[in-house]
Amino acid sequence: MLGGGLAMFAAFVLTMECGLAARGYVPSLAESYGLWQAQRLRADRLGRRALILVGNSRMQNDIDLATLRRDTGLEPVQLAVGGASFLPVLEGLADDPGITGTVLVNFEASALALPAQEDLAYDYQTQYSRHGNTTDFFRAENWLSDELHYRLRSYADGTRPITALMRRVLGRQGSLQFESRAPDRQVRVDFARNPNPRHFAIIQASHELGLPFKYGLGDSDGYLRASMQRAIDASQPPETSLFQAAARHAAAMAAAIDARGGRVMFVVLPRSGQVQAVDDKRYPRRGFWDPFAASVPVAVHFADVPALQAFVCPDDSHLDERDQGRFTSALVTALNLGKTTAP
């Protein structure tokens, strides 16, 4: 009885995995505190050998960790959190005397210019501050769960297998998987498999603008872009006093890490199209990036480096996985982080 039941179960899982593999799916993990916590603990353990990445989805999607490891000789630690501010994580690193490595921060003016949000990065950092380095059942369970999920396509994109079964195996127009996340939190986006990157671009621009963007299913790209442009034209830069205070705070945190032998570098990662237009209108360099860059030892804006400016974001906000390696090498050069200069 049990043997028959187990055989039936094994046959089902195998069939489903083969079905998903045939449709081009690869195993992928969902974003989770467990994954982030494991990397955060690595940042402590690695000490000076750590190259810690902080920021939002651009830092996750644009950087190739293997290239970074190869070109710098350092151990990359991916702590960026999609859609979140860099501030809570940078604060946590600054307060932790164990952090003595290199910290690369994906600078977003909005993170400093707007009132602080209790976003996912804030949640992760709060949990970590409370009981981050305890060895407990939850850490073991997270690790086991990730190990299992990263071996089965049925959990791709963090879905439950039932979703994969209904939408991808049985669904007539199964959605294509265009994003994957590895246990080291390396994210790869294949925009060639994304059915409509332009649609994503509109969503990204409205997100940057901080406005909910309403659209109908039948709205054309042209109409949506025109509507977005009107919204951009109507937007104004925020008042700068909040930014100035937060920028001083961020610079002080960087100085705290520098003071104990670490290095903190700030970088503005590529964006294009209407996302760039939003950034130019809402956070003009003269009022935001330039004064901040002058207050910290290392700061690089992609627009100032031709090798970085050459990359195009298919959704106006992130790079395609095919560009990750080349972009990372170019960034290492721009930051002077090559092996010969690494600590």
Binding site residues, other proteins, CB under 8 A: 1-9, 12-13, 136-137, 140-141, 144-145, 148-149, 154-155, 158-162, 165
What is the closest distance, in whole angstroms, from the C-beta atom of residue 23 to other proteins in the complex? 18
What is the closest distance, in whole angstroms, from the C-beta atom of residue 139 to other proteins in the complex? 10
Q: In 82-215, at which residue ranges do the beta strands (DSSP E only) sit?
A: 102-106, 179-181, 187-189
CA distance 46 to 69: 13
| H-type alpha helices, 210-272 | 221-234, 241-259
Show the tokens assigned to 274.
């209407």
What is the closest distance, in whole angstroms, from the C-beta atom of residue 62 to other proteins in the complex? 28
Amino acid in the structure at residue 90: L
- B/e letters for 149-176, b = 16+ CB within 10 Å, e = fewer, are bbeebbbbbebebebbbeebbeeeebee
Residue recorded with tokens 């290492």: 332
Q: Which is nearer to other proteins, 86 or 155 (CB)?
A: 155
Q: Which is nearer to other proteins, 9 or 223 (CB)?
A: 9
What is the closest distance, in whole angstroms, from the C-beta atom of residue 181 to other proteins in the complex? 14
Taking alpha carbons only, the member of 322, 280, 282 closest to residue 301 is: 280
Q: Which is nearer to other proteins, 21 or 192 (CB)?
A: 21
Q: Which is nearer to other proteins, 170 or 252 (CB)?
A: 170
**Who's near 339: CB < 8 A, 6+ residues apart?**
71, 72, 73
Show the tokens assigned to 30.
């969902």
CA distance 116 to 114: 6
Q: Give whole-number Cα distances, 271 to 6, 291, 302, in Å.
A: 50, 20, 9
What is the closest distance, in whole angstroms, from the C-beta atom of residue 172 to other proteins in the complex? 18
What is the closest distance, in whole angstroms, from the C-beta atom of residue 213 to other proteins in the complex? 22
Q: Which is nearer to other proteins, 33 or 326 (CB)?
A: 33
Q: Which is nearer to other proteins, 33 or 211 (CB)?
A: 33
Q: Which is nearer to other proteins, 15 or 341 (CB)?
A: 15
What is the closest distance, in whole angstroms, from the C-beta atom of residue 6 to other proteins in the complex? 7
CA distance 242 to 222: 36
